[in-house]
Amino acid sequence: MLTDEQIKDIKHQILKQIDSWHASDEQKKQAKQQIEAMSSEQLEEFLQKNNLIKNQEKEPESKISGKEQQECPFCLIAENKISSYKLDENKEAVAVLEINPLSSGHIIIIPKKHMQTEKISSQAFSLAKKLAKKVKIKLKPKDIKIETSNVLGHGIVNIIPVYYEKLERKKADEKELILLQEKLKIKP
**High-pLDDT (> 90) share of the chain, %:** 40
pLDDT, tens digit (0-9, with 9 covering 90-100), for 119-156: 999 999 999 999 999 999 999 999 999 999 888 788 99
Helix axes 4-19, 40-49, angle to 10 degrees: 60
How high is the pLDDT of residue 52?
63
Which DSSP category does 179 fall into? H
> How many Cβ atoms from other residues are within 10 Å of residue 108's Cβ?
24
DSSP string, 34-100: HHHH--HHHHHHHHHHTTSS--TTTS--SS--HHHHHHSHHHHHHTTSS---EEEE-SSEEEEE-SS
Q: Which residue has the higher pLDDT, 33 or 183?
A: 183
**Residue 116: per-residue pLDDT:** 87
What 45-50 contacts at long range (C-beta under 8 Å, 24+ apart), as own/partner pairs, is 47/10
Measured over the CA atoms of residue 8, residue 97, residue 110 and residue 66, the dihedral's sign is positive
Torsion of CA 71, 76, 81, 84, to 10 degrees: 130
13 CB burial (10 A radius; 0-12, 13-18, 19+) = middle
Kindly list the structural domains of the chain, giving each domain's residue range(s) and its CATH number in brackets, ordered by start.
Answer: 4-49 (no CATH), 84-184 (3.30.428.10)
Q: Which residue has the higher pLDDT, 51 or 152?
A: 152
